[in-house]
Structure 1
Amino acid sequence: MLELRMIDFGFGSAKPILKSVSLSLAQGEILGLSGPSGAGKSTLGRIAAGYVKPLAGEVLLNGTSPTLGHQPIQYVHQSSIFAVNPRWRIGRIISEAWQPDSGTLNALGVSRRWFDRYPHEISGGELQRVVLARALGPQTRFLVADELSAMLDPITQVEIWSFLMERRDQGLGVLAISHDTALLEQVSTRRVVLAMGHLQPAADIRQSETAESRVALSCR
């Protein structure tokens, strides 16, 4: 179980963007996180993965703070070119974390022919597959997928999310951050929305929006 408890975060003296935010994510679950731009979704994801320290609150993995070393919580965002060393060849980038089996590489569409190339010598979609393969080592229990497929073509999106849903069935937990609510509705086991520093279940947001629509219609 991955838990974020009473997380606060802000920049300097500015108004906090996260206020006592708590969420839990079980293995074998895809939790969809959406919300308006600037709401703090990526910041919350980075806090979950240990990239950013909150001003208050804690991140727990099975009831304890994550330890140093290979992190069982991995973070992948849409700009894969910034997540790799441009001077390393693809083979070295992948093996930095583990040696993926052929089944994983084939499922993600990662060709061994790329291994002798540099990141700029393959496409953005291909590099995103490489970064994802690197992240999904045998010790990975949770993946923070921050707009993971936003820059990819529809076919690649389907292939990647189909693979992640298979991994979910094998016990991987995924925090899926996206503006694409249609995608989240398809892949998530449940959804939450971050707005004004707080989380709400997506169902509550839909019910609120429906009620507002009814009021607007009754006033016409």
Structure 2
Amino acid sequence: MLRLDDVTKEFRIGAFGGKTVAAVRSVSFDVVPGEVVSLIGESGSGKSTIGRMILGLNSVTSGAITFDGRPVRGAKEYYRHVQGIFQDPFSSFNPVFKADRVFAMIKQSYYPAVPEQEWAERVRSALRDVRLNPDQVLGKYPHQLSGGQLQRLLIARALLLDIKLLVADEITSMLDASTRIDVLNLLAELKTRGLGVLYITHDLSLGNYLAERTVVLRKGGVVEMGLTDKVFGDPLHPYTRELLSAVPRLHEEWGDAAAVDTCLYHERGAAEGLLEAEPGHFVACAQLESC
């Protein structure tokens, strides 16, 4: 469905834009229907830039992003199948309009011929699908609703389209713990319907909870990638180990990341790109800056 092939994104910097900095470096992975892929890394690792390129909000400097075999161009028909939800749900709503205006905009853009009564029932059905009571949210202004309710409204908006892929960028970071789990369980339920989800987060525990596969980013490049139980259960890159060692554990003291004395990448004779250390489990050079 979605595929990134050797994608790089550079931004111009400096007073006259004479220099460039690479925010994303040669990234490749895919997302298939009915799968959640977790994109994990610290702030500044390039996660959100990748999400914005997939959504057509940033251009690609080199490489290619394709959806169902076609280049991503951010056209209207593309957004019928691909939608994004971002960290701050309040920023997605105009505070002077009632929250359900987002549904009216979908009708105006994609379903102008649908009768009003039929559309109203579709909206109510989509709201029930995301476990919202239509009578409690329709007709309300954004400030009258919680962050969790607004995030679910945005998911319901996506469901009204023929959506195949959802880019979820830090969508739970501003929610309280109980609401966070509700939203994650909703995403897990939606993937059973065939929806593919790219879940962008810096929270490893949430990524582990939700995703079948995990991609770990560092400084714009992929350092480890594979099935989530492999990446979390047997992390091969020191950066992944460092991230996992920083996750708080009840009744345990925090430990330091394990030191890596040798570079598995070069021990296995890899020349470039990612090394497949075991089937479906890929790792980058552990000493990239010094090798």
TM-score of the two chains, using structure 2 as the length reference: 0.68
Is residue 163 of structure 1 aligned with residue 177 of structure 2? no
Runs of 4+ in 1 over 6 A off after TM superposition: none
TM superposition shift of 1:57: 2.0
Check conservation: 2:93, 2:99, Cα contact below 8 A.
no
Aligned counterpart in structure 2 of residue 208 of structure 1, from 231, 237, 240: 237
**Aligned-residue identity in percent:** 31
Is residue 132 of structure 1 aligned with residue 155 of structure 2? yes
For residues 195 and 104 of structure 1, what CA distance do their matches in structure 2 show? Answer: 37
> What residue number does 1:105 align with?
127
Pairs within 5 Å for 1:82-93 = 82-93=91-102
Stretches of structure 2 lacking an aligned partner (at least 5 in a row) = 13-18, 108-118, 243-256, 262-291
TM superposition shift of 1:110: 2.5
Stretches of structure 1 lacking an aligned partner (at least 5 in a row) = none
For residues 159 and 134 of structure 1, what CA distance do their matches in structure 2 show? Answer: 17
Is residue 81 of structure 1 aligned with residue 110 of structure 2? no
Quick one: which amino acid aligns to residue 162 of structure 2?
Answer: Q
> What residue number does 2:36 align with?
30
Check conservation: 1:110, 1:126, Cα contact below 8 A.
yes
Quick one: which amino acid aligns to residue 53 of structure 1?
Answer: S
Quick one: which amino acid aligns to residue 205 of structure 2?
Answer: A
TM superposition shift of 1:4: 1.5
Q: How many residues align?
A: 216
TM superposition shift of 1:198: 1.1
For residues 125 and 176 of structure 2, what CA distance do their matches in structure 1 show? Answer: 23
Q: Secondary structure, in 3 states, of the residue corresponding to 1:134?
A: helix
> What residue number does 1:180 align with?
203
TM superposition shift of 1:102: 4.1
TM superposition shift of 1:35: 0.7
TM superposition shift of 1:138: 3.7
Quick one: which amino acid aligns to residue 8 of structure 1?
Answer: T
Check conservation: 2:103, 2:123, Cα contact below 8 A.
no
TM superposition shift of 1:3: 0.9
> What residue number does 1:43 align with?
49
Most deviating of 87-96 and 190-199: 87-96
**Relative to structure 1, is the Cα distance of residues 87 and 34 closer, same or farther in structure 2, using a 3 angstrom cutoff?**
same
Check conservation: 2:85, 2:167, Cα contact below 8 A.
yes
Quick one: which amino acid aligns to residue 213 of structure 2?
Answer: R
Aligned counterpart in structure 1 of residue 76 of structure 2, from 65, 69, 73: 69
Is residue 57 of structure 1 aligned with residue 79 of structure 2? no
Is residue 15 of structure 1 aligned with residue 21 of structure 2? yes
Check conservation: 1:95, 1:134, Cα contact below 8 A.
no
TM superposition shift of 1:139: 1.0
For residues 61 and 139 of structure 1, what CA distance do their matches in structure 2 show? Answer: 14
**Relative to structure 1, is the Cα distance of residues 35 and 118 closer, same or farther in structure 2, using a 3 angstrom cutoff?**
same
**Relative to structure 1, is the Cα distance of residues 159 and 166 closer, same or farther in structure 2, using a 3 angstrom cutoff?**
same
Taking only aligned residues, the RMSD between alpha carbons, in angstroms, comes to 2.3
**Relative to structure 1, is the Cα distance of residues 101 and 117 closer, same or farther in structure 2, using a 3 angstrom cutoff?**
closer
Q: Deviations over 1:152-205 (max 9, x none)?
A: 122222222212112111110000011110111111011010112211216298
TM-score of the two chains, using structure 1 as the length reference: 0.88
Larger radius of gyration: 2
